[in-house]
Amino acid sequence: MTMQLKQLLIRMPERYEADYKTGLPRGEIELEGAHSKVSVKLNGEQCRAILAIVGQAAKETTAEAVQAMTAEMFNLPTTELIEA
């Protein structure tokens, strides 16, 4: 049986919620299969681990975009042109 990711939700507690002062994110993952659906609650540590992965990917993607834009702006060869 194959389960597919249906939803991943990570959020900070709102001001009116009991755990607001902890400052820890919380989340939930929903997985769905042909005949079943599973929902798993994530604690603060698990949410931070996921956000670290997302943040690293965003950092790498942004660095690549900045490099490409800089090369284009100053008419410099990009890595693809240098390697070719």
3-state secondary structure the chain: CCCEEEEEEEECCCCCCCCHHHCCCEEEEEEECCCCEEEEEECHHHHHHHHHHHHHHHHHHHHHHHHHHHHHHCCCCCHHHHHC
* Better-predicted residue by pLDDT, 19 or 60: 60
- Residue 76 is predicted with a pLDDT of 59
Confidence at 40, pLDDT banded by 50, 70, 90: very high
Q: Which domain holds residue 32?
A: 4-79
* Better-predicted residue by pLDDT, 7 or 18: 7
Residue 18: CA atoms inside 13 Å, Cβ hemisphere, count? 0
What total number of domains does the chain contain? Answer: 1
Q: Is residue 66 part of a domain?
A: yes
* Predicted structure pTM score: 0.65
Q: Is residue 25 part of a domain?
A: yes
Q: Is residue 62 part of a domain?
A: yes
d(CA 54, CA 15) in angstroms, rounded, equals 25
